[in-house]
Structure 1
Amino acid sequence: MKDSPWFARFATRISHLAGHPITFGAAAGLIVLWAAIGPFAGFSDAWQLTVNTATTIVTFLMVFLIQSTQNRDTAALQIKIDELIRATRTARNSLLDLEDHSEEEIRQIREEYEKLASKARSRGNRMET
């Protein structure tokens, strides 16, 4: 399924805002304010329910927004890596769709590269193909 352009822009913008230090400060400030109101509210159930409900709703919605942004970022990164593999003469083009392989196939390929890295380290030189 394809993201709608407005939702993609919205999710990206909200994800970036959520990760901003000012947003963290504002959220921390709201928690401090909520805690300060506690004695005046008698630490009532309604006082507790306010922060519990707000944080649950925000967390629930942020999971989907951040996942949408992460999916797009991952897809773009995968395309860039695929292009580098395709453009490199000595690269293994069979790795272009590695993300679609089974966990076992990926584990086997990783082991091959770990062996190559170990050999290169023992010789003190760059990795060889």
Structure 2
Amino acid sequence: MYRGSPFTRFAKWTSHAAGHPAAFAVAVLIVGAWALTGPIFGFSDTWQLVINTGTTIVTFLMVFLIQNTQNRDSTALQLKLDELIRALEGAHNAMLDLEELEDKELEQIRQRYEELARRARSEMRHGHKDTDVEQVEVGDATSEGDVRRP
């Protein structure tokens, strides 16, 4: 089912299993059993330490496994989006690696697209279409008035 290193297979399997409703049900049962044993152990410090230690260990390990799976999924999604941009005629190939830009550069591009959206909504209110393709310069070649009609 899964390809890759043993850790990759384990991380995918664990992430999938942890997200299953049965995993939640098992966790509820464990907590319920722990709570029911409270009177038996006199709600002692050791009794409390058992659940605290168990949940801390599970949480600590799950953070790394889920992060590994999320990183892989995020990378795969980014590559799929990059392929769509690359294959779509008229799309800006300069957008392919936006995730590698500095925050300041991303903010500048985001502001340009927000301006495009504002103008499109304004034009729609006046009965115009919003399906025109406007050229948006990105990267070092930007200047004032860099949004222009083809």
Decide which moves more: 103-112 or 118-127.
118-127
CA deviations on 1:84-110 (whole Å, 9 max, x unpaired) are: 111112111111110000001011111
Deviation at 1:25, TM superposition (A): 1.0
Q: Select 1:126's aligned residue among 106, 125, 130.
A: 130
CA deviations on 1:20-53 (whole Å, 9 max, x unpaired) are: 1110011011111101100110001110000000
CA deviations on 1:58-78 (whole Å, 9 max, x unpaired) are: 000000000000111011011
The sequence identity of aligned pairs, in percent, is 56
User: Superposition pairs for residues 50-61 of structure 1, below 5 Å?
Assistant: 50-61=50-61
TM-score (structure 2 length as normaliser): 0.80
Q: How many residues matched?
A: 126
Distance in 1 of aligned mates of 2:16 and 2:24: 12
User: Superposition pairs for residues 64-103 of structure 1, below 5 Å?
Assistant: 64-103=64-103
Distance in 2 of aligned mates of 1:61 and 1:121: 47
Runs of at least 5 residues in structure 1 that lack an aligned partner in the other structure: none
Matched to 2:46, the amino acid is A
Residue aligning to 1:27? 27
Runs of at least 5 residues in structure 2 that lack an aligned partner in the other structure: 135-150
Once superposed, what is the RMSD of the aligned Cα atoms? Answer: 1.1
Decide which moves more: 4-13 or 67-76.
4-13
Residue aligning to 1:45? 45
Distance in 2 of aligned mates of 1:126 and 1:36: 62
- Structure with the bigger percentage of helix: 1
Deviation at 1:126, TM superposition (A): 2.9
